[in-house]
Amino acid sequence: MCVPEIFLDANATTPVLPEISQIMQRLCCNQFGNPSSSHLAGAMPKRIIADARKAAAQVFNVVDGRFIFNSGATEGINTAVLSVLAEYTGQNRKNAILLYGATEHKAVPEALKHWNHVLGVNAELLAIPVLADGALDIQFIAKHAPNALILCTMGANNETGVIQDLQAIARAIGGKDKQLPWLVDSVQVLGKVPLDLGALPIDYATFSAHKLYGPKGTGCLFIREGAPYTPLQHGGGQEHGERGGTENVAGIAALARIFDWLLDPQQSPLQAMDTLAGYREELLLALKNLFPNLVLNQPYPESLPTTINFSVPGFESGKIIAIFDSAGIRVSAGSACSKGKPQSFVLKAMGLPDWQCEGAIRLSFGPASSAEFIQMAAARINAMADRLKNLDEAERSGLWVPDPLNVGFAVYADETSKSLYYVGNRDRVKTWLNSYFSTDEWKQQLLSEGEHKFADFTLKISETGDFCISHEKLGRALSFNDSGVILSSEYLENVETIAPEIVSSGEYSFLDVREPLETCMQEAPKFGAGGWVSQRADWCRLALEFEGNTANQPVVAICRSGGRSLSVAALVRAAGGPNVLSCEGGVTDVVHFLAAKESVI
């Protein structure tokens, strides 16, 4: 039950490698001088920064530009945008445009929007469309470049791993003779795709150390000679007067070591591209074993060799993340839109259907991953597939409310007659309905206004569509509107919470409120007087029927991370049931405490 974590979200961040950590610790503890100091204690840090700058120039073949060390890519993006737009302050350039890729990291359009407004430039923000394979529309760039004040693109996409053709973009804007300032977000190409700033007319390029085994809060910005520059922050003249504030010497030294690895692959922990591509194949094979109908959302194998972006029919991204999380594997989803269901704006821009955008999962590993790590990850995924195949088919008969706190919809299923009686808008839960009650097998009937009795339950539907479900024998009830159970804040606020270490004492019985796919990936610990299992669609039935245990032992609701247990405890109380406590942590937290106790014994 207590399995080690396998981190497969390296496009978000990577661990600091021991060699990097040792360098930083030495500098923080032994060579901690301020590089701006004139005495000898500042000499070594000053030289470290200078050497790091030289290494960066060598890695990227820079002959006519410079590097400014900063806090990372977001600061670099804002600095570059400010530097270009400062020239147009207050000019109200409504006929001009700010060009950026439709699949850029949100830092780019947000920086453009901010400085465009603050400086009074008032140009139009125009997103460059992408083709079905995620590549930027080169003809669109060429058409709009003459009216643009800045062009912002990325080297490789953080969600899909799509690698942009920077040479083609350069030709579209005039090559070496271009007039348009060009910013490239280079975060994801570092250590994965060669970037020759000497051969490309890129004016600004941003980098972050934490994407390649360095610390968070450290990065650098490349600025081509002659490109406009305005400091984002002013101070004591550090970085040759171009970025105020005492330099993060330890972080810069870490970044320098990363550059050293890129300059000398023989001494580097970073794997070659063909090796990484082989790792990706191994993981993809395991994923297809787990999800045979998996669909890739990226051009394959032309994308980054460390990234797999996929969707699975019938699964939203949150459900897949929960499955992996329960098995101790960390993956991520696409970005969330401002309203509606979470979905990847990157995949949306590529024209993929909603189900793929809403179900997108990004699995990514770092270039320093070992063969043993990939084998362990693949083995874990294959073990998940074995568990999934052995998952017992759930009982279909009875009362079901698939999303009780968000959607006012309920069904009563009679498996004998294969009849499904429902109230509410079924389109809002069609994914759940299709997965549980196929229209090929089940007859579906919308319930009309009035009272409808099914076994111990009565559904009373008003003329407005609001409804109430009551349990005739126990006298409990839950009321619903279009947004789900009408649950006043007092129920949530009054739920008693309990720490995982206390739950692990064995003095409590538990209520496991995870989904079946989660429970099959990680069993709940067996402790206390007993336990119950209830998935989301069964929460309301549980709330209306739950009576606790005969041992009169306190009951604690427990889930993957802590949020759902609070909701279920509140639902039980709202229905008029017994007091249920909520575990502040998740199943894994309880398991860790139990394992710690066993090791002491």
Residues carrying CATH 3.90.1150.10, the chain: 271-389
CB atoms within 10 A of CB 125: 12
Q: How confident is the model at residue 389 (pLDDT cuts 50, 70, 90)?
A: confident
Cα of first residue to Cα of last residue in the chain, in angstroms, is 18
Could you tell me which residue, 168 or 391, shows the higher pLDDT?
Answer: 168
Residues carrying CATH 3.40.250.10, the chain: 490-600
In this predicted structure, what is the pLDDT of residue 178?
92
Residues carrying CATH 3.40.640.10, the chain: 43-60+69-223+247-266
User: Is 50 exceeded by the pLDDT of residue 582?
Assistant: yes
User: What kind of fold does domain 271-389 have according to CATH?
Assistant: Aspartate Aminotransferase, domain 1 (3.90.1150)
In this predicted structure, what is the pLDDT of residue 338?
36
CATH of domain 43-60+69-223+247-266: 3.40.640.10
Residue 151: which residues within 8 A CB-CB, separation 6 or more?
Answer: 99, 100, 141, 145, 169, 173, 180, 181, 182, 183
Rounded Cα distance, 119 and 162, in Å: 33
Residue 184: which residues within 8 A CB-CB, separation 6 or more?
Answer: 152, 153, 154, 155, 166, 202, 204, 205, 206
Structural tokens at position 111:
């920086």
Residue 534: which residues within 8 A CB-CB, separation 6 or more?
Answer: 511, 512, 513, 542, 568
Rounded Cα distance, 208 and 221, in Å: 9
The listed range with the strongest mean pLDDT (2-16, 282-296, 475-489, 534-548) is 282-296
Rounded Cα distance, 129 and 357, in Å: 17
pTM confidence score: 0.85
**Do the beta carbons of residue 554 and residue 507 sit within 8 Å?**
yes
User: Is 90 exceeded by the pLDDT of residue 244?
Assistant: no
CB atoms within 10 A of CB 463: 7
In this predicted structure, what is the pLDDT of residue 491?
77
Average pLDDT score over the chain = 90
Residue 94, φ and ψ in degrees, nearest 5: -65, -20
Rounded Cα distance, 572 and 555, in Å: 12
In this predicted structure, what is the pLDDT of residue 596?
65
Residue type, 593: F
CA distances from 497 to 500, 524, 558 (A): 10, 19, 11
Exposed e or buried b for every residue in 157-188, given b needs 16+ CB within 10 A?
bbbbbbbbebeebbebbeeeebebbbbbbbbb
Least reliable range by pLDDT among 116-130, 216-230, 379-393? 379-393
Residue 266: which residues within 8 A CB-CB, separation 6 or more?
Answer: none
In this predicted structure, what is the pLDDT of residue 597?
62
What are 53's strand-pairing partners? Answer: none
**DSSP label of 337:** P
User: Is 60 exceeded by the pLDDT of residue 339?
Assistant: no
Residue type, 286: A
In this predicted structure, what is the pLDDT of residue 575?
92
Q: How confident is the model at residue 591 (pLDDT cuts 50, 70, 90)?
A: confident
Residue type, 277: A
Per annotation, catalytic residue among 2, 337, 520, 583: 337
CB atoms within 10 A of CB 47: 11
Of 10, 404, 419, nearest to 211 by C-alpha is 10
Give Cα 577 to chain centroid, integer Å.
Answer: 37
Give Cα 570 to chain centroid, integer Å.
Answer: 28
The residue ranges of DSSP E strands in 134-218, in sequence order, are 148-154, 182-185, 204-208
The full DSSP string for 9-61 is BTTT--PPPHHHHHHHHHHHHTS---TT-SSGGGHHHHHHHHHHHHHHHHHTT
- The fraction of the chain above a pLDDT of 90, given in percent, is 67
Sign of the C-alpha dihedral, residues 520, 523, 524, 528? positive
Of 14, 12, 46, nearest to 31 by C-alpha is 46
In this predicted structure, what is the pLDDT of residue 595?
66
Q: How confident is the model at residue 107 (pLDDT cuts 50, 70, 90)?
A: very high
Q: How confident is the model at residue 531 (pLDDT cuts 50, 70, 90)?
A: confident
Residue 493: which residues within 8 A CB-CB, separation 6 or more?
Answer: none
337 is catalytic: yes
In words, the CATH class of domain 490-600 is: alpha beta
Q: How do residues 129-170 score in pLDDT, each as one tens digit?
A: 999 999 999 999 999 999 999 999 999 999 999 999 999 999
**Do the beta carbons of residue 110 and residue 267 sit within 8 Å?**
no
Angle between helices 73-85 and 107-118 (to 10 degrees): 30
Residue 26, φ and ψ in degrees, nearest 5: -60, -45
Between strands 361-364 and 97-101, the pairing is unpaired
Mean pLDDT of 374-385: 96
Mean pLDDT of 531-551: 86
Q: How confident is the model at residue 495 (pLDDT cuts 50, 70, 90)?
A: confident
CB atoms within 10 A of CB 553: 15
3-state secondary structure of 479: strand
Residue 253: which residues within 8 A CB-CB, separation 6 or more?
Answer: 23, 24, 27, 48, 52
User: Is 80 exceeded by the pLDDT of residue 59?
Assistant: yes
Mean pLDDT of 109-129: 97
CA distances from 184 to 127, 239, 471, 474, 535 (A): 15, 21, 62, 65, 46
Rounded Cα distance, 593 and 561, in Å: 15
- The fraction of the chain above a pLDDT of 70, given in percent, is 94
CA-derived radius of gyration, the chain: 28
User: Is 50 exceeded by the pLDDT of residue 226?
Assistant: yes
